[in-house]
């Protein structure tokens, strides 16, 4: 397959894992190339995600590097599978690539966990609420750009629907619940939608009230996507320059600690529903 000039995050992650396996075994790029029967110049392309590696070569590499965790290897094989078109490819060239990488990350996750301090969870936003958020961007987006983002956000929500929805846990700070994006009517409808969706068995919404003060990671919108094995988990953070993805072991450990704190601190699901209902009644 020819090299891709702009690899998706998923391809970059596969390449990073290949490099980690190789270097942990003390194998040079030259040795890896000889083992796999390819030119040495192709190894950096594989490890940067601009070139793929097939299952046979992937299994040859892992076996010769002393990696025998079959669940982990199976996860890598899935990441290396031949590309096929997905719904988010319709937005390629129309939206920033990072937004499409988030869609792909959510699509392949075994479970999704998010934390919100200003906006409500993207996967559970109504069209009007999402439109109000995108309308507030600076520099201001054109009407077409806003509507493309709203449509993309609504399509992302399909991972929480259907016969086999992805389990989801959303930790929401009270501040996000009280922000009135789009005005009182839009905010009220959005909160009522949260209450409705929060009763679905695969969706857990947990509120962190003001009385708990500051919590770890305050100010950051966090998406934690669980992979087929913990080594393939991914953290995505929102920044002013677009989404930032992280998967280093120390980073994953840090955010797992944050999520454990939130699980221990947040209101129960039932208390959270009552809390959201109380705010909605005030609007």
Q: What's the pLDDT score for residue 5?
A: 62
Q: What's the pLDDT score for residue 229?
A: 98
pLDDT at position 133 over 90: yes
Chain centroid offset of residue 241 CA: 16
Considering the four listed CATH numbers 1.20.58, 1.10.287, 3.30.870, 3.30.2010, the one that applies to the domain covering 95-282 is: 3.30.870
Q: What's the pLDDT score for residue 183?
A: 98
CATH node for 9-80: 1.10.260.40
Q: Where are the domains of the chain?
A: 9-80, 95-282
Q: What's the pLDDT score for residue 261?
A: 93
Q: What's the pLDDT score for residue 47?
A: 97
Q: What confidence tens digit (pLDDT) does each residue in 163-197 have?
A: 999 999 999 999 999 999 999 999 999 999 999 99
Going by pLDDT thresholds of 50, 70 and 90, the confidence category of residue 154 is very high
User: Mean of the per-residue pLDDT values for the chain?
Assistant: 94
Q: What is the mean pLDDT of residues 30-38?
A: 97
Q: What's the pLDDT score for residue 218?
A: 63
pTM of the full structure: 0.95
Q: What's the pLDDT score for residue 84?
A: 81
Q: What confidence tens digit (pLDDT) does each residue in 213-271 have?
A: 777 766 678 999 999 999 999 999 998 888 999 999 999 999 999 999 999 999 999 99
Quick one: which of 148, 151, 144, 145 has its CA closest to 125? 151
Q: What confidence tens digit (pLDDT) does each residue in 134-153 have?
A: 999 999 999 999 999 999 99
Going by pLDDT thresholds of 50, 70 and 90, the confidence category of residue 1 is very low
Q: What confidence tens digit (pLDDT) does each residue in 87-120 have?
A: 999 999 999 999 999 999 999 999 999 999 999 9
């Amino acid at each position: 397959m020819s090299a891709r000039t702009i690899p998706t995050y998923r391809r970059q992650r596969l390449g990073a894992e290949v490099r980690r396996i190789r270097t942990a075994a003390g194998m040079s790029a030259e040795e890896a190339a000889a083992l796999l029967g390819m030119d040495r110049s192709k190894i950096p392309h594989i490890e940067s995600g601009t070139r793929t590696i097939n299952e046979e070569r992937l299994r040859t590499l892992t076996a010769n590097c002393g990696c025998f965790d079959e669940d982990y290897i199976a996860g890598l094989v899935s990441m290396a599978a031949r590309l096929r078109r997905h719904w988010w490819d319709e937005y390629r060239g129309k939206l920033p690539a990072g937004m499409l990488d988030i869609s792909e990350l959510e699509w392949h996750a075994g479970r999704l966990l998010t934390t919100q301090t200003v906006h409500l969870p993207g996967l559970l936003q109504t069209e009007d609420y999402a439109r109000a958020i995108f309308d507030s961007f600076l520099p201001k987006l054109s009407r077409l750009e806003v509507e493309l983002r709203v449509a993309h956000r609504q399509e992302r929500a399909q991972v929480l629907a259907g016969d086999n929805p992805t389990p989801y846990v959303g930790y929401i700070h009270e501040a996000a619940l009280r922000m009135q994006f789009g005005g009182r009517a839009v905010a009220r409808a959005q909160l009522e939608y949260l209450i409705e969706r929060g009763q679905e068995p695969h969706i857990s919404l947990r509120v962190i009230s003001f009385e708990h003060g500051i919590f770890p990671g305050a100010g950051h919108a966090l998406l934690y996507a669980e992979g087929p094995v913990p080594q393939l988990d991914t953290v995505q953070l929102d920044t002013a320059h677009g989404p930032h993805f992280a998967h280093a072991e120390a980073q994953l450990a840090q955010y797992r600690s944050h999520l454990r704190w939130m699980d221990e601190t947040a209101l129960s699901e039932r208390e959270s529903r009552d809390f959201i209902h109380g705010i909605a009644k005030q609007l």
